[in-house]
Amino acid sequence: MAEVAIKLERKSERSFLDDIKDIVPAGNLSLCLTCGLCSSGCPATGLDGMDPRKFLRMLVLGMDEEVMQSNWPWMCTMCQRCVYVCPMKIDIPQLVFNVRAARPRDERPKGIRGSCDVAVQSDTCSAMGTPVEDFKFVVNDVLEEYRIAQPEFADMVAPIDKEGAEFFLNQNSREPMMEPDEMVPLWKILHLAGADWTYGSKAWAAENYCLFLADNENWEHLVRKKAAQADALRCKTYLNTE
Question: Which residue ranges make up each domain of the chain?
Answer: 16-102, 110-239
| Alpha helix (H) residue ranges in the chain | 16-20, 37-40, 52-60, 64-69, 81-85, 92-102, 110-121, 132-149, 174-178, 184-193, 209-212, 216-232
Tell me the pLDDT band of 41, cut-offs 50, 70 and 90.
confident
Q: Output the average pLDDT for the chain.
A: 90
Q: Give the pairing of strands 197-198 and 237-239.
A: unpaired
- Is residue 22's pLDDT more than 70? no
At residue 211, what is the residue type?
A: L
Q: Are the C-beta atoms of residues 96 and 48 closer than 8 Å to each other?
A: no
What is the pTM assigned to this prediction?
Answer: 0.81
Lowest-pLDDT choice from 15-24, 36-45, 138-147, 219-228:
15-24
Q: DSSP letter at 22?
A: T
- Is residue 6's pLDDT more than 50? no
Measured distance CA(16)–CA(65) in Å, rounded:
9
